[in-house]
C-alpha cells in the first residue's frame, strides 16, 4: 500500500479537500485504485451533532456514518463508496483507546498519548486503507489521507506525531507528503510573497514531517523566481512545486495538476514510475469545458434555514449542478431564507420579506432541503404552497417532503392545525410523527441513517420513470420523523400519491402530486449519491421540469442520448451541436454573483 498525505499550512480553507480529491483522480486516471481517509482533529466522535454553521453540511454514507463534507467530495470525485471509518476523529481514537483500557487490553500499563494513541491512529489508517471502496476485491493501490486543520494546531499534535512515525514505519517509496500552502499577493506591493509558506514548512519539519511536494495556492500561477525561492528555502526540488491558482471551477484542478506533471512526481516518490501509465482525463476536461460554454440559465430557489452559508447545502448544490449540466443548462441558484417568507418577517423586516418573495416568484423551480428545528418551517410550508398552487416544479427533501405533506393537509384537507409532532407535540392532526428507529433523548447517531431500500408502489409515477422503472432504489437517509401512516389513506383520497414506501409499507419514502407538472418529495437524501456525469434522477427531474423538458428525461432512451459519457463527443449545448466541452456553473447568491472556485467542493 502506498500513502499520500495532504496537509495544510498558513490558513484554513485553502482547498486541501479538493487537492486531495484531484490527486486521487489523477492517480486513478493513471490506472491505480485509490481510497481516501479524512482526519478531523476535533473531539466529536463524528459530525452528526455539529451545526451546519460550524462545519458545513453533514455528509451521510451508505453505512449510516455521519461524516465531514470532504468525504462527499472524495465520493463525487473518485466515484467510490466510503465507510464511517474513513473519517478519523480525535473522539473516535480516544473512545477506542479508553474502551481497550477498560477491558484491560493494556495489561496494567500507563496509557499515554505516545505510544498508545499514536499507535491506535496508525493501526486505524492501515486497517481502513485496506478496505475496498470501488466495488472490486482486494485493497486499493494508493490511500490519499487528508489531515484537517492547519499545521501548528494544538489538537493536531497526536496525529502529526503518529503520521511522522507512520512515514518512518512504511519506509521511503511508500509515503508521499503534499503540503498545501498559501502564497499571497499583497495589493500594495503587488508581488507573490513566499515567507508564509517558508514558515509553514519550517513548522512542519520541526514536527518531524518533511514535505515531498508543495502545492501553492495563489490567485495566479507562481512566477519562476518565486518557485526557485521556495525550492531554496523549503528544501523541495523545483519540479516538485506546483501552483494551484484560482480556476473557473474545481473540475479543472485534476487537469491543472496533470499539466504540471504532478503524476510523474508522485509516482517517482512512491516508486510507481514503472507501472503508472499516462493519465486519461478526457472526461474531466470535456465536462469542465461543457460547463464553461453553457449560457441558457435555469433558476432554482433553495428555500432553507442555513442559506447564509452555502456549504451547509453543499451536496444539494452539487446535485443541482450535475443535473443542470446533464440538461445542458447554466445553473443559477437563488438562496431564499425560509424565515423571511413568514408573516412575522413582514412586520419586523418588510424589506427582507419583499426581497425573499421577489426571489421566490422569479424562479423556474423550487427546492426545499432538509433541516432540524422549527425555525423557518412555516416559511418552507409557504414555499411548498406557492409551488403547488402556481404549478412551479418542486422538490422537497426530508423535511422538505414533510412540509409539503403538512401544507397539503392544511390547504386541501382543511386541517388547519396539521403539523409535525417535532414542532407541535400536541397537534390535533399529526401529519408527521416520530417513528421508533432511534432515541428521543440522545442526538448523536440515533436517527434512521444510511442506505435503505425504497420500493415503488406506483409504477407509472414520475419518480419511478426517472429511476428507469426500477422495482426499488437504495438511497441514504438521515431523519427521525416520518409521515404518519394513519393519515396516508386520507391524504391519498385527497389527491396525494405515495409512490414509494419502505419494505414494511409503513414508511412513506416518496410523495407525488399527480395533477401537478412536477411536485415530488423524498424522505431520503438523493443528493448524497449524485455524481458528475451521473446526476441524481430526482434532481435531474427537477431541472428538466424547470426547463420544460421533463418528458424527454423520463424517456428511457434519454440516458444514452444526453447524459455525459466518458470522453468528448458531439453534444447539444444550448441547442447547438458541438464538440463536448466542459465547465462549472455560476451560482447566484442573494448578495450578488459568485464563481465556483478551488475553495469549493464538487
Catalytic residue positions?
A: 398, 525, 527
| Counts of helices then strands in the chain (DSSP H, E) | 21, 25
Here the cell at position 551 is: 418528458
- What is the C-alpha separation between 311 and 52, in angstroms, rounded? 8
The stretches of 412-503 forming alpha helices (DSSP H) are: 462-466, 488-493
Separation of CA 582 from chain center: 20
Residue 467: is the preceding peptide bond cis (ω within 30°)?
Answer: no
Nearest to 16 by CA among 594, 599, 602, 595: 599
- In the numeric block, the cell 510573497 is attached to 193
**Burial of 593 (C-beta count, 10 Å sphere; 0-12/13-18/19+):** exposed
What are the grid coordinates assigned to 514, written together? 399527480
Distance CA(145)–CA(122), nearest Å, equals 12
Name the grid cell of 496: 396525494
For residue 453, what are the β-bridge partners?
474
Q: CB of 406 within 8 A of CB of 521?
A: no
Concatenate the DSSP letters of all residues of 18-53 into one string.
HHHHHHHHHHHHTT--EEEEEEE-SSSSSSTT--HH
**Contact assessment for residue 359 and residue 336, using Cβ atoms and an 8 Å cutoff:** yes
Cα–Cα distance measured from residue 538 to residue 479, given in angstroms and rounded to the nearest whole number: 19
Structural contact between residues 463 and 541, judged by C-beta atoms closer than 8 angstroms: yes
The backbone torsions φ and ψ at residue 59, rounded to the nearest 5 degrees and listed phi first, read -95, 140
Residue with cell 456525469: 533
Which residue's entry shows cell 519550517?
202
The answer for 484, left when phi > 0, alpha when psi is -120 to 50, beta otherwise, is: beta
Q: Which residue has the cell 518565486?
A: 226
Helix (H, G, I), strand (E, B) or coil at 511: strand
Biggest CA–CA distance in the chain, Å, is: 76
Cα–Cα distance measured from residue 510 to residue 397, given in angstroms and rounded to the nearest whole number: 9
Q: What is d(CA 575, CA 296) in angstroms, rounded to the nearest whole number?
A: 9
Q: Which three cell numbers stand for residue 293?
A: 460554454
Amino acid at each position: 500500500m502506498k500513502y499520500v498525505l495532504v496537509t495544510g499550512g498558513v490558513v484554513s480553507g485553502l482547498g486541501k479537500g479538493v487537492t486531495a480529491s484531484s490527486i486521487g483522480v489523477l492517480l486513478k486516471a493513471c490506472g491505480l485504485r485509490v481510497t481516501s481517509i479524512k482526519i478531523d482533529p476535533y473531539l466529536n466522535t463524528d459530525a452528526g451533532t455539529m451545526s451546519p454553521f460550524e462545519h458545513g453540511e453533514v455528509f451521510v454514507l451508505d453505512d449510516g456514518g455521519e461524516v465531514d463534507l470532504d468525504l462527499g467530495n472524495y465520493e463525487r470525485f473518485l466515484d467510490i463508496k466510503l465507510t464511517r471509518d474513513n473519517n478519523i476523529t480525535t473522539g473516535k481514537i480516544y473512545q477506542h483507546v479508553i474502551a481497550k483500557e477498560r477491558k484491560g487490553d493494556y495489561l496494567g500499563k500507563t496509557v499515554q498519548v505516545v505510544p498508545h494513541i499514536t499507535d491506535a491512529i496508525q493501526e486505524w489508517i492501515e486497517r481502513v486503507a485496506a478496505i475496498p471502496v470501488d466495488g472490486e476485491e482486494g485493497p486499493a493501490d494508493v490511500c490519499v489521507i487528508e489531515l484537517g486543520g492547519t499545521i501548528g494546531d494544538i489538537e493536531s499534535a497526536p496525529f502529526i506525531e503518529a503520521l511522522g512515525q507512520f512515514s518512518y514505519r512504511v519506509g521511503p517509496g511508500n509515503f508521499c507528503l503534499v503540503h498545501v500552502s498559501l502564497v499571497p499577493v499583497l495589493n500594495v506591493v503587488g508581488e507573490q510573497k513566499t515567507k508564509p509558506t517558508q514558515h509553514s514548512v519550517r513548522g512542519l519539519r520541526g514536527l518531524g514531517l518533511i514535505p515531498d511536494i508543495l502545492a501553492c495556492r495563489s490567485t495566479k500561477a507562481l512566477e519562476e523566481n518565486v518557485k526557485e525561492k521556495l525550492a531554496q528555502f523549503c528544501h523541495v526540488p523545483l519540479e516538485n512545486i506546483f501552483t494551484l491558482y484560482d480556476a473557473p471551477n474545481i473540475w479543472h484542478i485534476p487537469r491543472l495538476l496533470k499539466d504540471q506533471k504532478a503524476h510523474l512526481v508522485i509516482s517517482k516518490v512512491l516508486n510507481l514510475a514503472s507501472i503508472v501509465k499516462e493519465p486519461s482525463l478526457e472526461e474531466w476536461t470535456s465536462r469542465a469545458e461543457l460547463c464553461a460554454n453553457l449560457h441558457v440559465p435555469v433558476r432554482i430557489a433553495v428555500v432553507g434555514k442555513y442559506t447564509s452559508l452555502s456549504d451547509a447545502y453543499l451536496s444539494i448544490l452539487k446535485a443541482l449542478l450535475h443535473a443542470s449540466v446533464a440538461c445542458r443548462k447554466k445553473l443559477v441558484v437563488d438562496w431564499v431564507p425560509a424565515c423571511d417568507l413568514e408573516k412575522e418577517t413582514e412586520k419586523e423586516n418588510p424589506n427582507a420579506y419583499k426581497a425573499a418573495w421577489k426571489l421566490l416568484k422569479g424562479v423556474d423551480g423550487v427546492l426545499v432541503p432538509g433541516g432540524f428545528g422549527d425555525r423557518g418551517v412555516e416559511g418552507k410550508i409557504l414555499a411548498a404552497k406557492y409551488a403547488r398552487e402556481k404549478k412551479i416544479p418542486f422538490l422537497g427533501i426530508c423535511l422538505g417532503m414533510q412540509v409539503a405533506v403538512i401544507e397539503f393537509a392544511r390547504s386541501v384537507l382543511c386541517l388547519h392545525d396539521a403539523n409535525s409532532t417535532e414542532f407541535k407535540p400536541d397537534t390535533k392532526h399529526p401529519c408527521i410523527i416520530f417513528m421508533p428507529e432511534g432515541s428521543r433523548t440522545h442526538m448523536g447517531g440515533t436517527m434512521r441513517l444510511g442506505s435503505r431500500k425504497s420500493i415503488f408502489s406506483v409504477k407509472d409515477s414520475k419518480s419511478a420513470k426517472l429511476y428507469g422503472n426500477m422495482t426499488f432504489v437504495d438511497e441514504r437517509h438521515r431523519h427521525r420523523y416520518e409521515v404518519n401512516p394513519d393519515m396516508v389513506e386520507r391524504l391519498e383520497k385527497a389527491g396525494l400519491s405515495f409512490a414509494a414506501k419502505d419494505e414494511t409499507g409503513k414508511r412513506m419514502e416518496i410523495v407525488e402530486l399527480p395533477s401537478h407538472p412536477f411536485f415530488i418529495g423524498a424522505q431520503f437524501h438523493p443528493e448524497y449519491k449524485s455524481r458528475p456525469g451521473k446526476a441524481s434522477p430526482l434532481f435531474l427531474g427537477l431541472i428538466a421540469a424547470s426547463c420544460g423538458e421533463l418528458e424527454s428525461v423520463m424517456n428511457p432512451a434519454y440516458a444514452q442520448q444526453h447524459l455525459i459519457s466518458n470522453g468528448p463527443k458531439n453534444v447539444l449545448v444550448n441547442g447547438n451541436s458541438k464538440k463536448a466541452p466542459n465547465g462549472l456553473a455560476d451560482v447566484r447568491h442573494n448578495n450578488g454573483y459568485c464563481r465556483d472556485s478551488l475553495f469549493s467542493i464538487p
